[in-house]
Structure 1
Amino acid sequence: MAQSSTSPFFSLEELKQFKSAYETGGLEKVVSLIQRKTNELDSAELNIAVTGETGAGKSTFINTMRGLRKNDKGAAKAGTTETTMEPTRYPHPILPNVYFWDLPGVGTLKFTANKYLEKMKFNKYDFFIIVSDTRLTENYAKLAKEIKQLGKNFYFVRSKIDNDLRAFKLEGVNINKDEELGKIRENSVSNLKQAGIPSPTVFLISNFKVNQFDFPAFKETLANNLDDIKKHVFLLSLQNTTLEIIEKKRKELEKRIWMLATLSGAVGAVPIPGLSFACDIGILITAITDFRTYLGLDDASLQRLAIMAGKPVEVLKAEVKTPLLGEISVEFVKRMLVGSAVVAISVAEAVLNFIPVIGSIFGAGSSFLMTKHLLNDALNELTENAQRVVKAAFGTD
């Protein structure tokens, strides 16, 4: 579960260190602690294990979670026969420290559940996803119990739900969709209870309908069961398929801004013509470039989303109306800073409740506040563009 603190990414103990660090070592020591945390965010790994029966759609599921289709570069190999006999790692296309691991199905190897975990080196994975397109078998119930005993989270996914519903239609049978989904869910839960899982939750999904059935709730559940840093990484890895995902990303990126502003305010050394302070231009360029990638506005992300939504990529690109998608050069950022300098910023904006010492370090005209203001404006502008793209892609109101 997410750690409890009044500041994102920092434990209560780390927050206490800020005041002590400032009192004993000044701003330089505080900056060192913040830099260490930003490095931790950038290098954090997330390893997600996916297992299931042959033909259950686990490779397609891995591709869908990464916003890919089977013919895309780097896609997991999908098929109706078991092609995986060793754990196979698939990195995320824009967050290379997020890995999905395709594990062999339990039934394909002559191991008991506990031996399977040993063979698959379970300790490297943050959690397990167990995929089935029919009834969840006793093998996977046993595997889930072993995972639980070892202190790892696991999630049951019942895939190809759209095929189940389509079968009724092809046979000319009229059904109540919600009632039928309820029956499938009840049957899956009942099977798991009989196999010894006391309170199982089963997510009903289609790998090709990412905004339908339980897929949105499934992603939210995964995020909510991760600690702050890994939750941050996981949310940024999600493809922009809903407005809710974009808003969650905005909130996550907003958490970084005060840290980046502190670094810029403390180590800024590039004089800006017309302004009375120096600012670290490199921090601003990197942040804006990262923001637009995380928000799915780079060319590769727009192309993947267009394929997922079945829309021409030009339709999506037409919704992007911001100069922030052009080259983010030193001169471009300087012009942004000069434009922002006329905005009145009060000293109160520098008071950060979770780190009181920061408010006493920087004044109203500091590069800290200007950087914070500029990055907030850039993030909001990019978020609005990402929202328009998703509305065009999926017809979301």
Structure 2
Amino acid sequence: MAQSSNPSFFTEEELNKLKTDCKTDGLEAGTFLIQKNSYSLDSTEFNIAVTGESGAGKSTFINTVRGFQSDDKGAAKTGTTLTTMEPIGYKHPNLPYVYLWELPGIGTKHFPADKYLKKMEFKRYDFFIIISQSRFTENDAKLAKEIKRLGKNFYFIRSKIDGDLQTFEMEDRKVNTAEELDKIRNYYVDSFKEEGIASPTVFLISNFKVNELDFPALNKSLPDILENSEKAVYIFCLPNTRLEIVEKKRKFLKEQIHVLATRSGLMGSARPQTVLTNPISHDITALMGVIVDFCKCLGLDDASLQRLANIAGKPVEDLKAVVKTPLVGEKNAEVIIRMHTLRINSTAEAVLDFIPIIGTIFGAGSSFFVTYRLLSDALDELTEDAQRVVKAAFGTD
């Protein structure tokens, strides 16, 4: 089915410029734009600062969103005593440009509130998460006001909510859990409003229950306020705890395919004789690398599956057992070539219908069409496996 909308990785203006430049100055003229857009997704550095008072659960939160357990190599140190004396950046395991920064606790003797904000250099971070384990404090207000003064955004997280609910049970208090959670959430919202911060976003979570309370809503909401490239970066940070996370990853990878296929088309056009015999012969190694990256982004590599198994409390073998595509595991050129041979004849017509603007730049049968179709098919297979893994891990959507 033909679609009129353009992929958001290219603006309509950029697509039109690409078309014009290729017609007037040759195909090489569009290379810079394609490489620039591809690089911007691959190398966007995004720094998330996790702050709040000491003991609020900052380290555990960072470990949870990265899919780590406290005793894993590279995990943030957790404990009941002060463990962080300076900002520590933790790389996402699959995305080297994503950092979650654990900041020391505000309001301790080492970091009194009046000196904390200056020492922590808030301007260096892109987004903030304030974590609290208690009632709203003056320190919470100071953190939020400084973040807003810098023109940046934050989420407020009330951690250890499962402890509150357990207290109600121990006291034999008969409460409506949903109503009680709303009361707690509204308390923080109202407290921020009294400090002049309207409409704060508040989440009530347990760091050990990623599919309960507000943790799913947190994962879903954070990317919506970010710029497109930053949104993609953050989404790929998320462990696959729900099917909707897998779908968001698929959409962003689909957009990247347009960039990769267009670049392949330009390269192929510079080798017309090669394209006539085998449109992707010069791109086999690169395509293998792309598919490996897709596997990592969709959480299908061994390390990601192990982290998800840890979160779900399931044997990793149970998750690996539902992965069916030969694209996961040992990557080899034979798989890619076999896919290419079976599908090349039907590629041109399908892509012409799907992307009419790009279709006017490259002729039918070019490297663009083959690369686009091959990577699209690979992405579909990998997405199906990622969805099966989520169901195997959690038994729900």
Structure 1 and Structure 2 fold alike (TM over 0.5): yes
Residue identity over aligned pairs, in percent, reads 58
Alpha-carbon distance in 2 for matches of 1:326, 1:130: 39
What is the letter of the counterpart of residue 277 of structure 1? P
Q: Which moved more, 1:11-20 or 1:255-264?
A: 11-20
Return closer, same or farther for 1:263/1:344 CA change in 2, 3 Å cut-off. closer
CA contact (8 A) 1:138 1:195 kept: no
1:117–1:270 CA distance, 2 compared to 1 (3 A):
farther
Which residue matches 1:84? Answer: 84
Q: 3-state DSSP class of the match of 2:155?
A: strand
Q: Are 1:267 and 2:270 an aligned pair?
A: no
Whole-angstrom CA distance in 1 between matches of 2:111 and 2:393: 45
**Alpha-carbon distance between aligned partners in 2 of 1:103 and 1:110, rounded to the nearest angstrom:** 11
Q: Distance in 1 between matches of 2:280 and 2:240?
A: 36
Please identify, of 124-133 and 32-41, the stretch whose mean Cα deviation from structure 2 is larger.
32-41
Native 8 Å contact 2:47 2:127 kept in 1: yes
Residue 328 of structure 1 is matched in structure 2 by 331
The Cα shift of 1:256 comes to 0.6
Which amino acid in structure 1 is aligned with residue 71 of structure 2? N
Is 2:359 the partner of 1:359? yes
- Aligned-pair CA distance for 1:337: 1.0
* Paired amino acid for 1:372: Y
The answer for the alignment partner of 2:67 in structure 1 is: 67
1:314 is the counterpart of 2:317: yes
1:350, 1:30 → 2: CA distance? 22
- Cα RMSD (Å) of the superposition? 2.3
Within 5 A, what are the aligned runs for 1:215-234?
215-234=215-234
Distance in 2 (CA, whole Å) between partners of 1:12 and 1:364 is 22
In the alignment, the residues of structure 2 paired with residue 278 and residue 384 of structure 1 have an alpha-carbon distance, to the nearest angstrom, of 25
- Retained in 2: the 8 A contact 1:135–1:191? no
Residues of 2 paired with 1:336 and 1:233: CA distance? Answer: 29
Q: Secondary structure at the match of 1:258?
A: helix
TM-score of the pair, normalised by structure 2: 0.91
1:161-240, aligned counterparts within 5 Å?
A: 161-240=161-240
AA in 2 matched with 1:60:
T
The answer as to 2:54 corresponding to 1:51 is: no
Partner of 2:296: 293
CA deviations over 1:167-224 (Å, ceiling 9, x no partner): 1122332221101111111222232233332332211111111111111222222101
Contact residue 270 and residue 278 of structure 1 kept, 8 A: no
Distance 1:273 1:152, change over 3 A: closer
* 8 Å CA contact 1:161, 1:205 repeated in 2: yes
- State the partner residue of 2:393: 393
Aligned residues: 389
Q: Is the 8 A contact 1:270 1:281 kept in 2?
A: no
Deviation string, structure 1 residues 234-286 (Cα, Å, up to 9, x no partner): 11111000000000000010001111111122214699899553441123111
- Measured against aligned partners, the alpha-carbon deviations of 1:116-166 in whole angstroms (never above 9, x if no partner) come to 333112222111110001112111212211210111111110111111111
Seen in structure 2, the aligned counterparts of structure 1 residues 364 and 347 have a Cα distance that, compared at 3 Å, is farther
Equivalent position to 1:337, from 332, 335, 340: 340
For 1:231 and 1:104, locate their aligned partners in 2 and report how far apart those are by CA, in whole Å: 26
Q: Aligned letter for 2:43?
A: S
In the alignment, the residues of structure 1 paired with residue 354 and residue 308 of structure 2 have an alpha-carbon distance, to the nearest angstrom, of 39
CA distance in 1, matches of 2:48, 2:351: 42
User: Would the alpha carbon gap of residues 344 and 142 (structure 1) be closer, same or farther in structure 2, given more than 3 Å must change?
Assistant: closer
Question: Would you say the 8 A contact 1:347–1:363 is kept in 2?
Answer: no
* Corresponding residue of 2:246: 246
Letter in 1 for 2:303: A
| Structure 1: distance between partners of 2:129 and 2:275 | 54
TM-score calculated relative to the size of structure 1: 0.91
Q: Distance in 2 between matches of 1:187 and 1:152?
A: 23
Matched-pair contact (CA < 8 Å) for 2:306–2:316? yes
State the alpha-carbon separation in 1 of the partners of residues 161 and 15 from structure 2.
Answer: 47
Check the 8 A contact 2:220/2:245 in 1, yes or no. Answer: no
Asked whether the equivalents of residues 320 and 385 of structure 1 are also in contact (C-alpha less than 8 Å), the reply is yes
